[in-house]
Copies of this chain bind each other. A is one copy, B any other.
Amino acid sequence: MRTLDQARLPQPDLAEVEIGTVLQALADPVRLQIVRLLSRQGTAACGELDVPVKRSTVSHHLRTLRETGLLETHLKGNTRVSKVRREELDRRFPGLLASILDAAPAVPAAPPEEEPGGADGER
């Protein structure tokens, strides 16, 4: 019958979203990871996301990301399928997602760096 409840959960208009709000949402490591995963996988259900927190916490983060405007979520049967609102975000904040998702990882070490040739005065 109505296996087609493709209902979409409420989400904000991106025009009303401040850049600070987006930054705050992406500042959490788990949420950033979720956005990264979704950007690569396209879509995923809550339970499919490989993040090191419990299910209820993932749900909380997905809610935060959706209410912030970063994700859209569709109801599909018993599961919620989420994906990044990439095109809308690119229109609202040009270059933002690209610069974040394409950022190269940091070099592992801050090696014990000692500079010969003098005291680097600080104080």
Contact = CB atoms under 8 A, between A and B. Distances in A.
A41 to B, nearest CB: 20
Interface residues of A, number: 36
Count identical subunits in the complex: 2
A77 interface: no
- Summarize A's interface: helix, strand, loop or mixed: loop
A98 to B, nearest CB: 6
A100 B9 contact: no
A24 interface: yes
Nearest to A121: B7
A13 interface: yes
26 contacts: A7-B121, A9-B122, A12-B110, A13-B110, A15-B106, A15-B107, A16-B107, A16-B110, A18-B106, A19-B32, A19-B100, A20-B29, A20-B32, A23-B26, A23-B27, A23-B32, A23-B100, A24-B27, A92-B104, A93-B99, A93-B103, A94-B102, A95-B96, A95-B99, A96-B96, A96-B100
